[in-house]
Amino acid sequence: MADVSRRLASRDDRRDRAQLLLVGALTLAVVFLSLSLLLNSVIYTENLATRQTGADVDRATTFRHDVVAGLGDAIEHVNGGDAPDAATRRSEYRTVTDAWLSKLANYSATNGLAGDVERRTVSEGTRIADGNDSTTLTPQNGNTTWTVVTDAKVRNFHLRIDGASLSGDVIVRIDDGTTRTLRIEDTAPKPQLRVVGAADPTCTLSDGRIDVSGGQVGGRDCPALRSVDLSDEVDITIEDGAKVNGTYSLVADRREAGMRAAVDTRNHPNQCAPPSPPTYNDSDAADPYSSPAIYAATADVSVRTQDLDYARTVRVAPGEHGAPPTEPTFVKYDVTPTGSGFSVEWNVTDPNGDFDRVELRAYNISNASVDAQSLSEPATGTASFSVGNASAYYVNATAFDTASSRRVSEIRHPDGSGGCPP
């Protein structure tokens, strides 16, 4: 029988194993502690970086908002007075923004930002205004029903009426294919604005202020104006404007030459161009008047910090609804009688660069025939028509791009003698 024996561990062996276990446990504890500290450090660093980046994004966004607000204020400031031409408006805009951007750069530097603003484009338009609150809402010839703008995108449309002078209802129509009718009603104890067809149609004119673009009356929200859409090109007309004294102003995206020609043709359908008097005076020496304006401006905005590189292009058009305008616009349109016809000179710009052609037509007022035409002209050019001198003519120019068109028209007699009706 085999001898099976069992070796009992000595006291020293047990002591050695206990020491090894203790050392191993301490080693593991140190390792776990180190891992814990490392993990906490990583989490802290990530949280700190996230907080820093988030703060930088907030500061960059605030900087961009400040730029948009500042450029918008500059546009409205330079548009506020009269100007002889668009170049003067551009120069005033550069001067005003030069001073403001310098201060903005200093401010951003003290807040740990490397902020930069590079002004890019300026889109020209026309400001139409009547600042004399003692005159009625009528053009220079006193017509009580008349066209304010035609085929134009409009922003910052404001009216202010003198309620005490109101002697009957006055109507403002805004038509983009669908007509919205704004009726200024002679009601007691205060006049009110009614938007025909609106769910909540009336607002009291406590102080006469109507911000059509902003949807406000007297500085407060007017639910009735929510249904008034200025996001597309519109025609604006006033009916019975002689029944109230007041002021108004707006900025249209059409250049002044094309705007004045188009409006005059609407308001003086039987007079040679330019009519006497035209719809608008050409300076603020008399009301109402038109002047070149800045419709919109763009700028590149960039912000850099240790953890952020931010860049955006911003477009500023205070009080504008909807997308930017895309229709071509006439910078220049001149029709000169030659004795037996006309010489036409024009210049067209297109905001989105998809200009197609200009079409020219001479319509005989006597029999409505087209006696001369040219249907594929470039954006800038001149053309001559020979039509005899027996009648006055509508000399029309229509600029087309790939999606839209815009027309100007003047009434002329070939001999230049003013032989236009009436």
Q: Look at the chain and report how many structural domains it folds into.
A: 3
The residue among 249, 233, 256 whose CA lies nearest residue 349 is: 256
Distance in angstroms (rounded) separating the CA atoms of residues 338 and 385 = 9
At 96 the three-state DSSP class reads: helix
* pLDDT recorded at residue 243: 98
* pLDDT recorded at residue 420: 59
* pLDDT recorded at residue 1: 41
User: In this structure, are 358 and 405 located in the same domain?
Assistant: yes
Phi, psi dihedral angles at 418 (to 5 degrees): 80, 25
Can you read off the two tokens belonging to residue 404?
């839209």
User: In this structure, are 311 and 344 located in the same domain?
Assistant: no
Distance in angstroms (rounded) separating the CA atoms of residues 151 and 415 = 31
Distance in angstroms (rounded) separating the CA atoms of residues 255 and 290 = 11
User: In this structure, are 236 and 308 located in the same domain?
Assistant: no
The residue among 288, 212, 274, 204 whose CA lies nearest residue 246 is: 288
User: In this structure, are 139 and 278 located in the same domain?
Assistant: yes
* pLDDT recorded at residue 269: 80
Residue 186 resides in a domain? yes
Distance in angstroms (rounded) separating the CA atoms of residues 344 and 39 = 79
Can you read off the two tokens belonging to residue 398?
């229509």
Can you read off the two tokens belonging to residue 13?
């062996």
* pLDDT recorded at residue 7: 43
E-assigned strand segments in 131-231: 146-152, 154-161, 170-175, 179-185, 192-195, 202-204, 209-211, 216-217, 220-221
User: In this structure, are 159 and 304 located in the same domain?
Assistant: no
Let me know: does 405 contact 387? Beta carbons within 8 Å: no
CATH label of the domain that carries residue 347? 2.60.40.10
Residue 421 resides in a domain? no
Q: What domain range is 98 assigned to? A: 53-123+295-316
User: In this structure, are 224 and 305 located in the same domain?
Assistant: no
Can you read off the two tokens belonging to residue 37?
């500290």
Distance in angstroms (rounded) separating the CA atoms of residues 407 and 400 = 9
User: In this structure, are 166 and 219 located in the same domain?
Assistant: yes
Residue 212 resides in a domain? yes
Distance in angstroms (rounded) separating the CA atoms of residues 294 and 77 = 10
Can you read off the two tokens belonging to residue 407?
């027309």
The amino acid present at 331, given as its one-letter code, is V
Residue 60 resides in a domain? yes
Residue 24 resides in a domain? no
* pLDDT recorded at residue 63: 84
Let me know: does 296 contact 123? Beta carbons within 8 Å: yes
User: In this structure, are 264 and 307 located in the same domain?
Assistant: no
Residue 115 resides in a domain? yes
User: In this structure, are 377 and 312 located in the same domain?
Assistant: no
Secondary structure element (H or E) that encloses residue 303, with its range: strand 289-304
* pLDDT recorded at residue 398: 94
E-assigned strand segments in 205-259: 209-211, 216-217, 220-221, 234-239, 246-252
Please report, in tens digits, the pLDDT of each residue of the chain (422 residues total): 444 444 444 555 555 555 555 555 555 555 445 545 544 544 434 443 344 456 777 878 888 888 999 999 999 999 988 888 999 999 999 999 998 888 777 766 666 677 889 999 999 999 999 999 999 999 999 999 999 999 999 999 999 999 999 999 999 999 999 999 999 999 999 999 999 999 999 999 999 999 999 999 999 999 999 999 999 999 999 999 999 999 999 999 999 988 998 899 899 887 777 788 999 999 888 899 999 999 999 999 988 877 778 888 999 999 999 889 889 999 899 999 998 999 999 999 998 899 999 999 998 888 889 999 999 999 999 999 999 877 888 899 999 999 988 988 888 888 776 555 54
Residue 223 resides in a domain? yes
Distance in angstroms (rounded) separating the CA atoms of residues 244 and 231 = 28
CATH label of the domain that carries residue 108? 3.30.1300
CATH label of the domain that carries residue 155? 2.60.120
User: In this structure, are 397 and 259 located in the same domain?
Assistant: no
Percent helix, strand, coil in the chain, to 5, is: 30, 40, 35
User: In this structure, are 146 and 265 located in the same domain?
Assistant: yes
Is the previous residue joined to 324 through a cis bond, with omega within 30 degrees of 0?
A: no
Distances (CA, A) of 273 to 152, 277, 419: 21, 10, 11
User: In this structure, are 132 and 116 located in the same domain?
Assistant: no
The residue among 395, 381, 329 whose CA lies nearest residue 126 is: 329
* pLDDT recorded at residue 34: 52
230, 264, 286 - which closes a domain = 286
* pLDDT recorded at residue 81: 80
Can you read off the two tokens belonging to residue 354?
């998809």
Residue 82 resides in a domain? yes
Distance in angstroms (rounded) separating the CA atoms of residues 290 and 254 = 12
Residue in the block written with tokens 């970086």: 49
